Amino acid sequence: MRLRDKVAVITGAAGGLGATYAQAIAREGGRVAVVDVLDGAGTARDIGALGRQARAIQANLTDEEQVQGMVSQVMEEFGRIDILVNNAGGAGQQAAESEIEKIDRAHWDEIIASNLTTTMLCIKHVVPHMKRQQSGKIVNVSSRAARGTAWFGQVTPEYIAAKIGIIGLTRQLAKELGPHGINVNCLVPSFTISGPALQAAWDNMTEEERSHMVEATPLRRLPQPEELASVVVFLVSHESSYVTGACLDVNGGSLMA
């Protein structure tokens, strides 16, 4: 119960890894706002079944007014915000070109907005409440692709650029917010099958791409969602009280390959 009665806002939590993070925090005693552009009622019910308070809030986090409204709803429901996990984002639903000459500007703007802009806006509107408390834990979610280059063709330059931006934002805000007792860190996971979209991405890879991804990982396997969630719980708990500005790679050692 490392997070007893702590209030956590988890974005992109209707399903996939976000739902896993939300449930892991709830199992440690946290109260959770499940935030997503999709309906997160199912995740909230699962958390409720654990005996923890949860509320699903539907919002488009690229819209600043909706972000402000989401934060207001959380404060009205829970009275405080101790934890923010910026998980919303992704590579988008449509097929996209990876060659620079063929990048579609609209798709570029969409991916930057859904990953990097959502992270900035949520921090912008949550931080005033954390400053008043003189405490808070923020975890931003980047990607292994931000540490190098794409492993496979479905990862596009706009996605990589957005995830690199999240790492830079994390470091700068850790410096800015540290004097207010706010820790800002970054999770940098490798490819994880954690929902229908990522399962489809895995299925759409060639056998060569799948084999390369596994063989280039010293642990010779993909991660389980719970292995990422345990790192998130560490980063939002008191156990990481002297950790800030860190970008923690959870990739089975694949960056050494």
Q: Which residues are catalytic?
A: 159
Tokens coding 142: 């980047």
d(CA 131, CA 70): 18
Tokens coding 241: 């009280």
d(CA 199, CA 41): 22
Asked whether the beta carbons of 243 and 35 are under 8 A apart, the reply is no
Tokens coding 202: 């895995």
Which candidate, 214, 170, 207, places its Cα nearest to that of 192? 214
Which candidate, 7, 24, 15, 13, places its Cα nearest to that of 230? 24
Can you tell me whether residue 96 is helix, strand or coil? coil
d(CA 236, CA 226): 15
* DSSP assignment letter at 115: I
Asked whether the beta carbons of 126 and 68 are under 8 A apart, the reply is no
Asked whether the beta carbons of 148 and 216 are under 8 A apart, the reply is no
* DSSP assignment letter at 81: -
Largest CA distance in the chain: 52
